[in-house]
């Protein structure tokens, strides 16, 4: 038997070590890819919640600033804030429920159309699904196999997802949207309302400052949850918030001057 070459042994060991390292890196990369988090499934309630809170802050702060600029008494400012809070919460809930219910009705109507089409002409629906996958990059044979297997598993679900565009994550939920909007509007509207109650003599300044801080926090939170740049989200909300509060204050001051 010939003696082993030490250089060959070292090279083999190095090659084996590199192979193990590469495999470990691939495995870790695969785990990292598998553990990434999507945010689309939160878009429904997140949109309703953040929109409601943002609307609550802007509506109530704008209303109270406008009334205060018209030289109303602290009692009048407080009454306007309470009335706006109750009306806004109910309006947000009702409006969101009606809007999302209309979306849900449309989704159900489309699913009924697709269900009847599957019952009446399954072959045509299979061809339609196959062609969708071909346009997305699959070859004809693979697209045929995929569409056949998906339709055998859940034909309506496959067409709802890939033909109509209805997914479980984005399905309309009217009651959830209504409750989220109403509650979040109330919580957001309480911020300027409490600020005005706690500092009645400096209501305009305190309401404006507190509302700006809260709006910036909401914008940053929305950006953080949605995976967007935080500063951009905060700045966007602050700019529109300042514009809204400035206009309502100017209107109130104009009516106060007329009186």
Q: What is the DSSP string of 105-145?
A: HHHHHHHHHHHHHHHH-HHHHHHHHHHHHHHTT--HHHHHH
**Cα torsion angle, 46, 52, 57, 62, sign:** positive
* Domain region containing 81: 56-258
Top pLDDT among 4 and 80 is at 80
**Domain for residue 28, yes or no?**
no
The pLDDT assigned to 21 comes to 46
What is the band of 164 on the pLDDT scale with cuts at 50, 70, 90?
A: confident
Residue 135, in any domain of the structure: yes
**Model pTM?**
0.68
Residue 35 is assigned to a structural domain of this protein? no
Look at residue 104 and tell me if it is in a domain: yes
pLDDT band at residue 182 under the 50/70/90 scheme: very high
pLDDT given for residue 44 in this prediction: 52
pLDDT digits (tens, 9 = 90+) for 205-238: 999 999 999 999 988 888 887 778 889 888 988 9
User: By the 8 A CB rule, do 246 and 204 touch?
Assistant: no
Residue 227 lies in a domain: yes
Best CA proximity match to 214, nearest among 191, 239, 195, 187: 191
**Average per-residue pLDDT in the chain?**
80
Whether 1 is covered by a domain: the verdict is: no
Q: At a CB cut-off of 8 Å and minimum separation 6, what does 238 contact?
A: 212, 215, 216, 219
pLDDT of residue 254: 87
Banded pLDDT at 163 (limits 50, 70, 90) = confident
Residue 12 has what pLDDT? 42
Residue 240 falls inside a structural domain: yes
Structure tokens at 258: 């007329």
Greatest extent of the chain over all pairs of C-alpha atoms, in Å: 113
Whether 253 maps to a domain, the answer reads yes
- In the chain, the number of structural domains is 1
Q: Which stretches within 172-229 are classed as H helix?
A: 174-198, 203-226
The pLDDT value recorded for residue 51 is 80
């Amino acid at each position: 038997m010939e003696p082993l070459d030490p250089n060959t042994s070292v090279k083999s060991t190095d090659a084996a070590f590199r192979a193990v390292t590469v495999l470990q890196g691939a495995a870790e990369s695969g785990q990292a890819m598998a553990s990434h988090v999507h945010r689309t499934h939160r878009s429904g309630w997140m949109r309703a919640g953040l929109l409601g809170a943002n609307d609550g802050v802007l509506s109530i702060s704008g209303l109270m600033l406008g009334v205060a600029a018209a030289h109303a008494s602290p009692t009048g400012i407080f009454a306007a804030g309470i009335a706006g809070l109750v009306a806004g919460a109910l309006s947000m809930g009702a409006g969101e429920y009606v809007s999302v219910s209309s979306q849900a009705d449309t989704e159900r109507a489309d699913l009924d159309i697709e269900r009847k089409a599957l019952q009446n002409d399954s072959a045509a629906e299979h061809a339609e699904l196959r062609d969708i996958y071909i346009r997305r990059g699959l070859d004809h044979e693979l697209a045929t196999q995929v569409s056949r297997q998906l339709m055998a598993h859940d034909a309506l679900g496959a067409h709802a997802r890939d033909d109509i565009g209805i997914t479980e994550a984005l399905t309309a939920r009217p009651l959830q949207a209504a409750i989220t909007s109403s509650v979040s509007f109330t919580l957001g509207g309480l911020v300027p309302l409490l600020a005005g109650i706690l500092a009645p003599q400096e209501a305009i300044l305190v309401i404006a400052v507190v509302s700006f801080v809260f709006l910036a926090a909401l914008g940053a939170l929305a950006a953080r949850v949605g995976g967007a740049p935080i500063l951009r989200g905060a700045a966007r909300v602050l700019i529109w918030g300042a514009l809204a509060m400035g206009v309502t204050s100017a209107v109130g001051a104009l009516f106060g001057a007329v009186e």
